Amino acid sequence: MSTQSRSGTPHAARPPVDDTSVPSFESSGGDWDEIAAEIAELGEERIVVNMGPQHPSTHGVLRLMLEIDGETVTEARCGVGYLHTGIEKNMEFRTWTQGVAFCTRMDYLAPFFQEAAYCLGIERLLGIEDDVPDRAQVIRVLLMELNRVASHLVCLGTGGNEMGATTVMTISFTAREEILRIFESITGLRMNHAFIRPGGVAQDVPAGLSEDFWHMDTEVRKYLAQLGDLMLANPIFKSRLVGTGHLNLAGCMALGVTGPVLRSAGLPYDVRKSAPYCGYETYDFDVPTSTDADCYSRVVLRIEECYQSLKIAAQCIERLERSVGEPVMVADKKIAWPAQLAVGTDGAGNSFEHIREIMGQSMEALIHHFKLVTEGFRVPAGQVFQTVEHPRGELGVHLVSDGGTRPYRAHFRDPSFNNLQAVALMCEGGQVADVVVAVASLDPVLGGVDR
């Protein structure tokens, strides 16, 4: 016996298959009550659902594998690695200074924190921590604190959008634009700046920064007040977040969770206070905490942290006004690269005075400039671990030098990677809709996870 294919070609008929032992759930007819009864006879049913990667509620390329019973999540697991960049390995083949352009791209929403941690580690290996000019440290603090506000605004905006509150997103991103304009005026870029360098920063802040800052400060505070009015007393918002994604202090400590999630469980751990860097011990600010340990408390804390960061940034502006003209890079020209930057009509580049010296007046300066740019400076052999308080928690960098001009090893302890371990504890036992809220409260950025 044979049958005809669609193209008309005869082929042998398949032998009948005994599929009586295999339950069928095809909706090819029959009553739904009969199908439901058949499912009940089978006993426990295991349904596994993939959320992501490339899902609008998993912050990019996070993959969540959910085992569900109806709408209840019985098991939740994370799958990472879909955005692997190889940044840490690439840094082994670049000079110490060039490494800044790589690590700034890890957590692309908080680039200044990777830059600062990396450069602080290099400065400790070089033994020049006390030689970095105060003005450079103030600029670093200013950039990091404004970056903290911008990062939290993305967290609040995307989290609101994932729950259907588009207005929350538009207000958050409008506020963030005000901060990105400040970044662009200082570094020339909105993201991935590579502005913090070993020994200081690439160049001084532009004239008129104070006026731009105070305008930004007024606007951002206005938008933060709007966000508070929209979210914190909203009954729908509270019904979605209060009591959702609960993770107590014991769970945070067991999983190494840090940042706003840890502080929402009551522990006021903040690297800026526990192990100050860049002169943070000289600034006046508070570390807000809560004991509710749920998604709602993390929103409240992030908004309050934005106000505290603006408070620190205002102190930075006052210090910059008192230190105009002071250096922003170490005096040692064997480390200070690039040298004497200036912003001209063609963008950022070496100043005309520096070019005139190395090209027409000093052969030694030209040779030194060439070797510093192409080969880089040498870092004494050793290793160091440096931490900073990232918007998502404690960021650590482990640097190993073999005495050469390139890192022997560079490894980053990104807070998003560690915090994602909490997904199972926060989501299991809740509903599928609560998974969206719980993940948003962690605020993961996969560029830092898959480095």
- With bands split at pLDDT 50, 70 and 90, how would you rate the model's confidence at 367? confident
Express as a percent the part of the chain with pLDDT over 90. Answer: 67
Judgement on whether residues 36 and 121 belong to the same structural domain of the protein: no
Q: Dihedral through CA 67, CA 69, CA 73, CA 76, nearest 10?
A: -10
Q: Shortest CA distance to 103 belongs to which of 127, 128, 122, 125?
A: 122
Q: Residue 15 pLDDT > 70, yes or no?
A: no
- Give per-residue pLDDT as tens, 27-73: 444 565 665 666 567 666 668 888 878 778 787 788 898 888 888 99
| Biggest CA-to-CA distance, the chain | 96
User: Does residue 1 sit within a domain?
Assistant: no
Same domain, 143 and 133: yes
Boundary residue ending a domain (19, 52, 79): 79
Closest CA to 183 of 151, 205, 166, 201: 205
The conformation of residue 281, written as its DSSP 8-state character, comes to G
Cα separation, 133 vs 327, whole angstroms: 6
Predicted local distance difference test score (pLDDT) of residue 16: 47
Beta bridge partners of 48: 67
pLDDT digits (tens, 9 = 90+) for 209-234: 999 999 999 999 999 999 999 999 99
The neighbour count for residue 44, using CB atoms within 10 Å, is 5
Task: Identify whether 13 is part of a domain.
Answer: no
Q: Are 198 and 328 in contact (CB under 8 A)?
A: no
Same domain, 130 and 146: yes
- Share in percent of the chain as helix, strand, coil (round to 5): 45, 15, 40
pLDDT category, 359, cuts 50, 70, 90? confident
Look at residues 41, 58, 79 and tell me which one is the last residue of a structural domain: 79
Partner residues linked to 257 by β-bridges: none
Banded model confidence at residue 182, pLDDT cuts 50, 70, 90: very high
Distance, CA of 301 to CA of 309 (rounded, Å): 12
Among 9-23, 319-333, 355-369, top mean pLDDT goes to 319-333
**Mean pLDDT for all residues in the chain:** 87
> Is 134 found in the same domain as 73?
no
The predicted model gives 337-345 an average pLDDT of: 54
User: By mean pLDDT, which of 5-19, 55-69, 218-232, 363-377 is the weakest?
Assistant: 5-19
Residues 214 and 299 occupy one common structural domain: yes
Q: Is residue 209 part of a domain?
A: yes
pLDDT at 43: 61
* Confidence at 353, pLDDT banded by 50, 70, 90: confident
What pLDDT shows up at residue 451? 78
Contact at 8 Å (CB) between 441 and 295?
yes
pLDDT: which is higher, 446 or 181: 181
Name the token pair of 352. Answer: 């005309």
Answer yes or no: is 265 within a domain. yes
The answer to whether position 48 is within a domain reads: yes
Q: Is residue 25 part of a domain?
A: no
Do residue 355 and residue 247 come from a single domain? no
Q: Are residue 212 and residue 291 in the same domain, yes or no?
A: yes
- Average pLDDT on 177-205 reads 93
In terms of domains, do 206 and 323 share one? yes
The reply to whether 16 falls in a domain is no
Question: In DSSP terms, which residues pair with 3 in a beta bridge?
Answer: 11
The b/e string for 341-362 (b: 16+ C-beta within 10 A; e otherwise) is beeeeeeeebeeebeebbeeee
Sign, Cα dihedral of 244, 249, 250, 253? positive
pLDDT of residue 81: 83
Q: Flag whether 10 is in a domain.
A: no
Q: Are residues 63 and 178 in the same domain?
A: no
pLDDT by residue (tens digit) across 79-107?
888 888 899 999 999 999 999 999 999 99
* Same structural domain, 72 and 183: no
Helices 209-231 + 134-162 axis angle, to 10: 30
**Do residue 372 and residue 382 come from a single domain?**
no
Q: Is the pLDDT of residue 8 over 50?
A: no
Domain stop point among 376, 395, 428? 376
d(CA 399, CA 411): 7
- Number of independent structural domains in the chain: 3
Q: What is the CATH number of the domain that holds 416?
A: 1.10.645.10
The pTM assigned to this predicted structure is 0.86
Domain that holds residue 390: 87-332+378-450
What are 391's two structure tokens? Answer: 């918007």
Residues of the chain with pLDDT > 70, as a percent, come to 86
Q: Are residues 342 and 385 in the same domain?
A: no
